[in-house]
Amino acid sequence: MTALLWLRRDLRRADLPALGAAARAAGEDAGVAAVFVVDPEFFEPAGEVRQAWLARTLLALRESYEGRLSLRRGDPVELIPELASAIGATSVHVSRETEPAGAARDARVREQLERHRIAWVETGSPYAVTPGRVVNRQGAGFQVFTPFSWAWRDHGWRAPAEEPEGVRLLHPGGDEDVWRMVTEVAGRPGLPELPEAGEEAALRRWAQFLEHGLADYADHRDRPDLDGTSMMSPYLALGAVHPRTLLFDLASCSGPGATTYATELAWREFYADVLWRHPESLARDLRPQLQGLAYDDDTELRQAWQQGRTGYPIVDAGMRQLLATGWMHNRVRMITASFLTKDLHQWWPAGAAWFEQRLIDADLASNAHGWQWTAGTGTDAAPYFRVFNPVLQGKKFDPDGDYVRRWVPELRHLPGVLAHEPWKSPKGPDQGYPDRIVDHDRERKVTLARYQLAREHA
């Protein structure tokens, strides 16, 4: 028998339970055909950098699958049943998708397969614990992170999946054009330097982090000027590595770094769980009492934020890091998101969409709920009255101004923390650096007044 393995957010070969299930279904004499579908609905809206990251991950994945990875381009609802029938597959194997659009698409593919009497088999998911499984004593989900994280640890997870032995990989072919397109996208001129893609690179990066970064992680993770975080998010986003693999390694490490890192992975799992329970939260404030909050809709202000031209150095550094590399430090994501929502009064989905288009680690759940948390509208949100002061945040987390000077060349001549307040220096910024587009103290008051009003009318 032949089995089809449809890869989506699990672009690896190691620790992949769906591959084991496909190999078992295929049996000894038959084979497994692995396929990825470039779905224009997901691919086209992504920016060039994000597209390139996916393309490079696919090229690396082809190596992992000994050159026998099939590619298709189009609507999977048509393509998967077509390919499964063409190769005589009796089952299609996937890791379970729990994001709303992906889950709806899977339901349609499954319906088509049933018509062809082809089985649909879900094994594992992109999470250590599949969304929906962490529940309290009454069987309900969690609204708040800390109790979720305790229950998540108590629930536990499997050990990394063993690679099945002797899998015979099939390659039905007919995909030269799509590979050509992917190769072009991967090597487009003008792309920034990206991390090396693929599962081998992911595991190398992880080994380096365990050796050199984990011990100081708890102290350094909030400092954008230091190389203090793991940079595993771009690999986790596409499943080049599974969180179970990381958690398994962490279990044999001691110290606060390992505990803190596992907690950060728990945030990723929490947000996936919240999204599964509240699919509407991708575009709607979760907190009912803030659903009437007034926002502005100002394209010019949004553009200044997008291009890193707000006149607030830490905000501009973060937005420019995003444009230049497709990644931004977590602390700076919070500062820039707070600035858009609480200083410029724009609704968070506009910022989430900008991030989603550009981040190489774009993840629907972590992004939408990272935004909702910062905006004060989400589950387990930061208190709505907490408005980040971009200057104080900059001075606290980039205490020598190194991060700002790295990404904002107009401020490179300003020493130390002066880089966070160029208006205080007699030299000022180099020409071309904008004046502050809003007055933080004033906008903070506006935000608090709007929150108060929304709560009174809720």
Residue from 19, 21, 237, 360 touching ligand FAD (CB under 6 A): that is 237
Choose between 81 and 318: whose C-beta lies nearer to ligand FAD. Answer: 318
Nearest approach in angstroms of CB 166 to ligand FAD is: 33
Residue 251: burial class (beta carbons within 10 Å; 0-12, 13-18, 19+): exposed
Nearest to residue 294, comparing CAs of 247, 341, 335?
Answer: 341
- List phi, psi (to 5°) of 134: -90, 110
Choices 15-23, 148-156, 233-241, 389-397; region in contact with ligand FAD by CB under 6 A: 233-241
The DSSP symbol for 183 reads H
Quickly count: other Cβ atoms within 10 Å of residue 167's Cβ.
20
Cα–Cα distances in angstroms (integers) from residue 249 to residues 154, 158, 210, 291, in the given order: 18, 13, 9, 42
Residue 280: burial class (beta carbons within 10 Å; 0-12, 13-18, 19+): exposed
Residue from 90, 123, 330, 357 touching ligand FAD (CB under 6 A): that is 330
Quickly count: other Cβ atoms within 10 Å of residue 67's Cβ.
9
Length of the chain measured in residues: 458
Residue from 70, 98, 233, 310 touching ligand FAD (CB under 6 A): that is 233
- Binding of ligand FAD at residue 355 (CB under 6 A)? yes
Can you read off the two tokens belonging to residue 274? 């919240």
- Binding of ligand FAD at residue 242 (CB under 6 A)? no
Can you read off the two tokens belonging to residue 131? 């969304």
Choose between 22 and 364: whose C-beta lies nearer to ligand FAD. Answer: 364
Choose between 257 and 422: whose C-beta lies nearer to ligand FAD. Answer: 257
Instruction: Show contacts with ligand FAD in window 401-430 (CB under 6 A).
Output: none
Residue from 321, 374, 377, 447 touching ligand FAD (CB under 6 A): that is 374
Contact (CB, 8 A) for 249 and 210: yes
Per-residue x/- marks for ligand FAD, 200-229, CB under 6 A? ---------------------x-------x
- Binding of ligand FAD at residue 440 (CB under 6 A)? no
* Cα 231 from Cα 205, distance rounded (Å): 8
Annotated binding site for FAD: 217, 229-233, 261, 264-271, 361-363
> What is the total count of residues that contact ligand FAD (CB under 6 A)?
27
Residue from 70, 366, 393, 447 touching ligand FAD (CB under 6 A): that is 366
Choices 16-24, 130-138, 166-174, 354-362; region in contact with ligand FAD by CB under 6 A: 354-362
Name the residue with the smallest CB distance to ligand FAD. Answer: 370
- Binding of ligand FAD at residue 333 (CB under 6 A)? yes
Helices (H), 298-417: 299-306, 313-325, 330-338, 348-358, 364-375, 390-397, 402-407
Residues whose CB is less than 8 angstroms from the CB of residue 324 and which lie 6 or more positions away in sequence, other chains included: 192, 407
Q: Which residue is listed with tokens 């991967």?
A: 186
Can you read off the two tokens belonging to residue 450? 């709007």
Can you read off the two tokens belonging to residue 417? 């923390």
Residue from 19, 241, 337, 454 touching ligand FAD (CB under 6 A): that is 337
- Binding of ligand FAD at residue 372 (CB under 6 A)? no
What are residue 120's DSSP bridge partners?
Answer: 92
- Binding of ligand FAD at residue 264 (CB under 6 A)? yes
The DSSP symbol for 416 reads G
Nearest approach in angstroms of CB 126 to ligand FAD is: 10
Q: Which residue is listed with tokens 């089985």?
A: 119
Can you read off the two tokens belonging to residue 289? 């009492």
Nearest approach in angstroms of CB 237 to ligand FAD is: 6
- Binding of ligand FAD at residue 145 (CB under 6 A)? no
Contact (CB, 8 A) for 291 and 370: no
Residue from 105, 205, 268, 420 touching ligand FAD (CB under 6 A): that is 268
Residue from 65, 152, 371, 403 touching ligand FAD (CB under 6 A): that is 371
Residue from 69, 109, 113, 362 touching ligand FAD (CB under 6 A): that is 362
Choices 8-16, 165-173, 263-271, 285-293; region in contact with ligand FAD by CB under 6 A: 263-271
Interacting residues with ligand FAD (CB under 6 A)? 221, 229-233, 236-237, 264-265, 267-268, 271, 330, 333-334, 337, 355, 359, 361-363, 366-367, 370-371, 374
